[in-house]
Amino acid sequence: MDIRIKFGEKVRLRREELGLSQEEFAFQSGVHRTYVSGVERGVRNPSLTMVERITKALGMNFSGMLDEE
C-alpha cells in the first residue's frame, strides 16, 4: 500500500478518535480543510513540515504515524 494512503488512514482514524471534524482539525492544525481531505484520501503528498504539523495537531509523534501495525 502507498505510504500516502497509510498515512492518510492514520490521520483520519486519529482525528475521528479525537472527535474532530475535518474542518475543526484543519483549523487546529493551520491547514485548509480540503488539504486535510486530500491527505486523508492519500491524494496529497505532504511535505515533512506538513507531516510534522499534522502529527503535532493530532497529539502524536512523527515516527508513530509512520510505524507499521
Q: Please write the tens of the pLDDT for every residue from 3-56.
A: 899 999 999 999 999 999 999 999 999 999 999 999 999 999 999 999 999 999
Q: Grid coordinates representing 36?
A: 486535510
Spatial distance between the Cα atoms of 20 and 32, rounded to a whole number of angstroms: 14
Q: Name the residue type at position 22.
A: Q
Spatial distance between the Cα atoms of 49 and 31, rounded to a whole number of angstroms: 12
CATH of the domain at 19: 1.10.260.40
Q: What is the pLDDT of residues 48-63, one digit of tens each?
A: 999 999 999 999 987 7
Distances (CA, A) of 18 to 11, 21, 24, 43, 47: 11, 9, 11, 23, 23
Q: Grid coordinates representing 19?
A: 472527535
Number of domains in the chain: 1
Q: Residue 39's domain spans which residues?
A: 3-66
